[in-house]
Structure 1
Amino acid sequence: MTNDYRFEFRSYQRRFLRSLTTNHGKWDIREGIILRLTDESGKVGWGEIAPISWFGSETLEQALDFCRQLPREITDEIIFSIPDELPACQFGFESACEMGSGEWGVGSGGDNFITPKSSLFLYSALLPAGEAALNQWKTLWQQGYRTFKWKIGVNAIADELEIFELLIHTLPASTKLRLDANGGLSYEEANLWLRTCDNLKANPELPLEIEFIEQPLPVEKFQQMLELSTSYETAIALDESVATLRQLADCHQQGWQGIFVIKPGIVGSPSRLRKFCHQYQIDAVFSSVFETAIARLAALQLAAELSQNNRAIGFGIDHFFEQEDTWLQTLWNDL
């Protein structure tokens, strides 16, 4: 039986409290689309399209063009035939369907989305690039975070290695640290980082655990990352290389047995992601795309279902935005 929905949407902009700096550059404003589906019985499902075009999804304009060309009344058939070139749209519309159907045990009221962090998860907090990390971790530690991700490949490698040396001897003993290069290292730099981490792992006096280096090389250097993953003890996680379901399946087929960082907000169809993860039992870390609470609820639902190895999920990003409770409620009321 095909369901019919009344479809409404609105775009949004949220300014970061501080610029997010990665190898891809500086990011000051998060833009996206909030959508609402109302079925014939009046049940409401909320969804969010939060593309990151430089990471591998469609652009915001492509997503807006898609929403604008849709009729006010849409069906399941339309939703489940969204093309793979629009992965953030696939996620937003499918998750709205799931929410409206009650599959998550969530009602149609807006304030259901503003939920505290689930005790089912460990959260990884994102540290700012450069020296700012040396102080920022303290506040986050007091908030309960025990896993941190630090951006590398942003500044000169000699400077970053110096800061890294200070950071690892500053963080408490029970910390897990992830290094995220966003594909910004050369092959020689990646080897240097991996050798440095291996040497630290071999030091029994090192108080913390270096969990993995995330996406050390650009997407097109997959074979070199595959080689590096078997050459060092320090684990490598793919991120940009597996931004979408198509890329995820391709890297798995080519032999990647390491960690996959999955960003639900841009990976594509939730139903197809479930099928893939159940079939192959991959080692996945679920991570934020700096979405609002709407997409975050959908992403956490997937993480709860599909996480295998009790790895901290990368949703410790609240400190990059002002509290969104009032902002979201205003947006919903305007729809």
Structure 2
Amino acid sequence: MHRFQYKAYRRSFAGTFANARESFAKREGLMIRLEDRDGRVGFGEVAPIVSFGSESFASAFSVAESLGEQVAFERVLPELAGYPCLRWACESALDMIAREGVWEELEKPWPICGLVADLGDLASVEEKLGMHYQCLKFKIGKKSLIEELKALDRVIELSEGKVQIRLDANGTLDMRTAIGWLERVAGLPVEFIEQPLPVGAEVEMRRLSADFPTLLALDESVDSVDDLKRWRDQQWPGLYVIKPSLSGSLLALGEELSGGAGDCVFSSSLETKIGESNAIGFAIRQSGHGRALGFGVERLFADRNVGLELGPFLQKGGLASSDDLESLWNLT
């Protein structure tokens, strides 16, 4: 049995944050705190994004409210299968207790990919270049193809072509526009285009992958561990963007990636430092050091010290300590 506590939070964005499909005014989620009979504590976070197939904040809150203060998780976890974010949060907190709050150590700094929501936001690009980011991610599909290609040219000119670029369409492009992007970025420092076509158009994306040299990455198409397993079994030729906090089960995701995670890019679900530390800690255990981590999101928010201030590299000791997480819990 574990003592189960939860708190809701709401964070404001520093400005308008939107992709081609939706805009976000606030970020709502739940922090959870578990304590075992020996007084050991673990934290988890419920950070839902409904458009990625997760439960809603309201439904997660309702289930958390129904669990009671003393919970037998060996019985409860299977019942949370329809609540992927809540299950991930509980398994993460249990895992933190088992590890006694100790994170895996990095062998060397791990690059962080900084998110700039708008390709035309050159001020943010200049800021991140001044901080020595080696990888930047942009949302595309928000304006016309011609406008965004011109903006991409300006970014590459500003960075002198020395920074890896990720382009995320959130599944909103049509085939003609996707081809236009792939024709233009061939030979440019574009690491990959993320989910160019909607969920359900994976066969068409596989054809695009065969016709053009730039890698494609599935994101919305691999919301769950079952989705990831299916596309890995079918030998998808590109990459997978994994948002651990949305995956549904730390244990199941760890088992799926136990043979290697070289084809995965680990990414934020816009969590606080609780969810970020759990997700990045998981990534370290699975891959040690891979492609740049997609967690450069903290400048999107108006508050400070709620998320991890990672900068362009995750450094040794860069994840939140148990004391840090307890302090955040007490302040919420």
Separation (CA, whole Å) in 1 of partners of 2:139 and 2:331 = 37
**Matched residue type, 2:126:** K
Unaligned runs of 5+ in 1: 107-116
Residue equivalent to 1:153: 141
Residue equivalent to 2:311: none
SS in 1 for 2:162: coil
Q: 2:81 aligns with which of 56, 81, 84?
A: 84
TM-score calculated relative to the size of structure 2? 0.88
Cα distance, 1:72 vs structure 2: 1.3
SS in 2 for 1:228: helix
Q: 1:294 aligns with which of 265, 269, 274?
A: 274
Q: 1:22 aligns with which of 19, 22, 44?
A: 19
Count of residue correspondences: 313
SS in 1 for 2:25: strand
Where in structure 2 are the equivalents of 1:89-108 lying within 5 Å?
A: 89-102=86-99, 104-105=101-102
Residue equivalent to 1:123: 112
Q: Contact between 2:272 and 2:306, CA under 8 Å: does it hold in 1?
A: no
Q: 1:236 aligns with which of 198, 209, 216?
A: 216
**Matched residue type, 2:110:** F
Separation (CA, whole Å) in 1 of partners of 2:326 and 2:281 = 22
Q: 2:30 aligns with which of 5, 11, 33?
A: 33
Residue equivalent to 1:285: 265
Cα distance, 1:79 vs structure 2: 4.5
Where in structure 2 are the equivalents of 1:198-217 lying within 5 Å?
A: 198=186, 201=187, 209-217=189-197
Q: Does 1:170 align with 2:182?
A: no
SS in 2 for 1:220: coil
| Cα distance, 1:303–1:91 mapped onto 2, change above 3 Å | same
**Matched residue type, 1:126:** L
Unaligned runs of 5+ in 2: 308-323
SS in 1 for 2:109: coil
The farther-off stretch of 230-239 and 94-103 is 94-103
Separation (CA, whole Å) in 1 of partners of 2:3 and 2:289 = 40
Q: 2:54 aligns with which of 48, 54, 57?
A: 57
Q: 2:294 aligns with which of 314, 320, 325?
A: 314
Cα distance, 1:102 vs structure 2: 2.4
Where in structure 2 are the equivalents of 1:213-224 lying within 5 Å?
A: 213-224=193-204
Q: Name segments (4+ residues, structure 1) moved above 6 Å.
A: 326-330
RCO greater where, 1 or 2, for CA within 8 Å and sep 6 or more?
2
Cα distance, 1:283 vs structure 2: 0.5
SS in 2 for 1:34: strand
The farther-off stretch of 323-332 and 229-238 is 323-332
**RMSD, aligned CA:** 2.2
**Matched residue type, 2:216:** I
